[in-house]
């Protein structure tokens, strides 16, 4: 979700191999074009790119598009790297993302918050960098993983500025 230029595709491809499918969703046509070129240069035929705003997308339409391009209508895993904090209604985007997942799908969110400890001295720089990129440093979207998943793995880096959460999503059968 919010695949950008596809920078994560090589690592994802290494994990799923040529038989799996990478589905990249981003609202920016320019970012998707870079992702498309990245996949083409690498010769990856298993990448489906969809231009959609995660906040306003229709999960049924996205599933149909994915199926039409040979992918599974529900995903086994999802990754949102520095993307949810860019969305003013990130919880709505999270709900849309969950609608695209299989039961027991693995999900991971990587995003930012105000640094901790000695790095608090760098807080003005962190605020400026996030503002420049359009991110809300106070959004804390990784908390959705903690709320909606089990077996959550928690990690942080750069004095807490980077927050990483991964877990198993449990789809409500209703």
Residue 69 falls inside a structural domain: yes
Distances (CA, A) of 58 to 27, 62, 64, 121: 13, 6, 10, 42
pTM: 0.89
Residue 4 falls inside a structural domain: no
Q: How far is CA 6 from the centre of its chain?
A: 11
Residue 89 has a pLDDT of 95
Give the separation between CA 17 and CA 80, rounded to whole angstroms. 20
Residue 173 has a pLDDT of 60
Residue 1 falls inside a structural domain: no
Instruction: Give the model confidence (pLDDT) of 77-95 as tens digits.
Output: 999 999 999 999 999 999 9
Q: Domain of 116: which CATH number? A: 3.40.50.150
* Domains: count for the chain: 1
Residue 174 has a pLDDT of 54
Instruction: Give the model confidence (pLDDT) of 25-64 as tens digits.
Output: 999 999 999 999 999 999 999 999 999 999 999 999 999 9
Instruction: Give the model confidence (pLDDT) of 125-168 as tens digits.
Output: 888 888 888 889 999 999 999 999 999 999 999 888 899 999 99
Instruction: Give the model confidence (pLDDT) of 2-23 as tens digits.
Output: 999 999 999 999 999 888 999 9
Average pLDDT over residues 60-77: 90
What is the domain extent for residue 163? 9-169
Residue 20 falls inside a structural domain: yes
């Amino acid at each position: 979700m919010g695949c950008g230029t596809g920078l994560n595709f090589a690592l994802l491809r290494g994990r799923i191999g040529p038989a799996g499918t990478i589905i990249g969703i981003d609202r920016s046509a320019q970012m998707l074009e870079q992702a498309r070129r990245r996949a083409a240069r690498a010769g990856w035929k298993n990448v489906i790119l969809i231009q959609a705003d995660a906040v306003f997308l229709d999960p049924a339409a996205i599933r149909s598009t994915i199926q039409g391009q040979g992918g599974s209508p529900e995903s086994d895993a999802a990754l949102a790297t520095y993307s949810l904090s860019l969305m003013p209604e990130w919880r709505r985007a999270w709900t849309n993302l969950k609608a695209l997942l299989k039961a027991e799908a693995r999900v991971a969110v990587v995003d930012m918050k105000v640094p901790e400890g000695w790095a608090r001295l760098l807080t003005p720089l962190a605020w400026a960098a996030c503002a420049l990129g359009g991110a809300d440093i106070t959004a804390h979207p990784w908390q959705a993983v903690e709320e909606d998943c089990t077996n959550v793995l928690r990690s942080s880096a750069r004095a807490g500025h980077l927050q990483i959460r991964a877990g198993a999503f449990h789809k409500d059968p209703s």
